[in-house]
């Protein structure tokens, strides 16, 4: 294990000296031990490779902060952890944003939509002007009577994404009809 680690430090020293082959080797070794570390922490997504690429780019950008005289792995892991935290922060921020959209939709869904005086047919012209995906969702839900869950299955989306898209479409239509 120590030999292997020493080996990484020696490779990195050569890499800092401009040795491209040593640099490729050290990056390959790095990606080999970082992949399981990331996969374990990102089991809910399939973006491990994307993050690994970002980490490798960060290592490349910060390689002047490594001098080859101290252990290599703690240096690499500190960069990997930093990028992982960044990723998780933005991932959960997106989720929160998504949840805000859903809660807005819930307010809207409390309104009585089934007894609306506006029928699908009467506004089909406006629906046709919506983006393709939103128009399809409204058509499936209001003309053909599918539930959001069924639409999601049909279009290969998740249910909440369908609800959000429908909500956005309603908002656009409402603005247009108010005019």
DSSP assignment of 33-69 equals HHHHHHHHHTTT-S-HHHHHHHHHHHHHHTGGG--SS
- Write down the least CB distance from residue 106 to another protein, Å: 34
- Please identify which residue in the block is written with the tokens 């401009």: 18
Q: Which residue in 140, 29, 122, 40 sits closest to 76, CA to CA?
A: 29
| Interacting residue with another protein among 11, 23, 141, 146 (CB under 8 A) | 23
| Closer residue to another protein, CB minimum distance, 67 or 94 | 67
- Write down the least CB distance from residue 44 to another protein, Å: 20
Does 158 engage in binding with another protein (CB under 8 A)?
A: no
- Write down the least CB distance from residue 42 to another protein, Å: 15
DSSP 3-state assignment of 116? coil
Q: Interhelix angle for 2-16 vs 20-41, to 10°?
A: 130
| Closer residue to another protein, CB minimum distance, 61 or 176 | 61
| Interacting residue with another protein among 4, 5, 6, 28 (CB under 8 A) | 28
- Residue 63: Cβ-neighbour burial (10 angstroms; 0-12, 13-18, 19+): middle
Does 27 engage in binding with another protein (CB under 8 A)?
A: yes
Residues within the interface to another protein (CB under 8 A) = 15-21, 23-24, 27-28, 31, 49, 52-53, 56-58, 60-68, 70-71, 74-75, 77-79, 81-82
């Amino acid at each position: 294990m120590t030999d292997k680690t020493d080996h990484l430090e020696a490779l990195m020293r050569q890499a800092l000296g401009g040795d491209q082959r040593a640099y490729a080797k050290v990056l390959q070794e790095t990606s080999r031990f970082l992949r399981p570390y990331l996969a374990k922490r990102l089991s809910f997504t399939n973006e491990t490779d994307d993050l690994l690429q970002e980490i490798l780019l960060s290592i490349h950008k910060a390689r002047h902060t490594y001098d080859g005289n101290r252990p290599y792995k703690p240096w690499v892991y500190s960069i990997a952890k930093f990028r992982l935290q960044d990723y998780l922060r933005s991932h959960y921020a997106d989720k929160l944003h998504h949840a805000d959209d859903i809660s807005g939709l819930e307010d809207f869904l409390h309104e009585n939509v089934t007894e609306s005086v506006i029928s699908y047919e009467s506004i089909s012209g406006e629906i046709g002007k919506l983006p393709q995906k939103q128009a399809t969702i409204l058509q499936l839900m209001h003309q053909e009577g599918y539930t959001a869950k069924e639409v999601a299955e049909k279009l290969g989306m998740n249910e909440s994404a369908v609800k959000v898209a429908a909500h956005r479409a309603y908002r656009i239509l409402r603005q247009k009809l108010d005019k």
